[in-house]
Structures are given as C-alpha cells and as structure tokens.
Amino acid sequence: MAGKDSIDAYVDGSFSVESGVYSFGCVFLPEDGSVRVMCGSGNDPENAKQRNVTGEMLGAMNAVLCAIKSGYKRINIYYDYAGIECWVTGAWKSKNDLTRSYSMSMKGWMSHIDIRFFKVEAHKGHKYNELADKMAKRGAESIGIPETKLIGDMEIWTQEK
C-alpha cells in the first residue's frame, strides 16, 4: 500500500479490432482513500500494430507522468502485462520503435520518481485491476490522450458507475 509520498496505480490496455483503436485505463489510489481514474486512446495505424500492448504502455506512462506532476516521490505500478516491467528492467529486449520509446521514457522518468512494478493476474477478480480494464475499454469510446493531470483533479470513481 502506498504511503504519504507514494501512490498505487493500476494500469491496463485494450484494443478494438473493429475500429483499430488502442486504449488505456489508469486507477489511482491516493492516501485519502478515494479512487481516481483516467483513460484515453489513439488510432495511429503504426501504433495500432501493437494492439492492446500500445494501450498498456500508454497507461503506465500516463500514470508515471501524473504522479510526477502531483509531486509523488514513488509510484507502485500494478499491471497484468509483463512487458510493462520487462522492457524497463531489460528482462525483455525492446525490438521496435514503440517499445524502445516506452523503455527510454520510463527509465528517464526514474530520475524524478521511484517506479516500482508489481504483477497481478489478469481477469482473476482483483478489484482495481478489473477497474483498470474497464477504464481501458471506456477509453476506446473517444479518441485522444488526456493531458497530464494532477491526481486530485481526475475523475473520482464510485461504485454506482
């Protein structure tokens, strides 16, 4: 669990074969007990070749940028796709421009924030991972990557939604 200077973030990605849209969802758990969410999507044909993986990477990148902007010193990223961690740690080789860009960006941001990774199993009923998945699917409803926000300015998720 995150502390005063750290935040937990769950990230996920999605892809629509019909529309060619990749999307991401982020769930933030600040210390105040709220649940803050964001989502976004894109449809660049080159990036769409990586399908949901593009969304997975965008989710992690947006989570880190929002945490930095909000002044956190550490972010705990919970993910269900191994590449989110493995391309950053070097366990997997970045074999294309997209994964290289992701890896380089995340490594660069590590000079501003301590990024820690935690693997969770997909679709096993983990509350916040399932919510990140839901937000990733919601992200595909409109095209656009949201601007980096303060975590307190993001949408608050309640059980009714």
16 class by beta-carbon count within 10 Å (0-12 exposed, 13-18 middle, 19+ buried): middle
Q: What is the pLDDT of residues 95-114, one digit of tens each?
A: 899 999 999 999 999 999 99
pTM beyond 0.85: the answer is yes
How far is 86 from 79, CA to CA, in rounded Å?
A: 11
pLDDT band at 1; cut points 50, 70, 90: low
Q: What is the pLDDT of residues 41-99, one digit of tens each?
A: 999 998 899 899 999 999 999 999 999 999 999 999 999 999 999 999 999 998 899 99
What is the residue-averaged pLDDT of the chain?
92
Is there a contact between 9 and 28 (Cβ–Cβ < 8 Å)?
yes
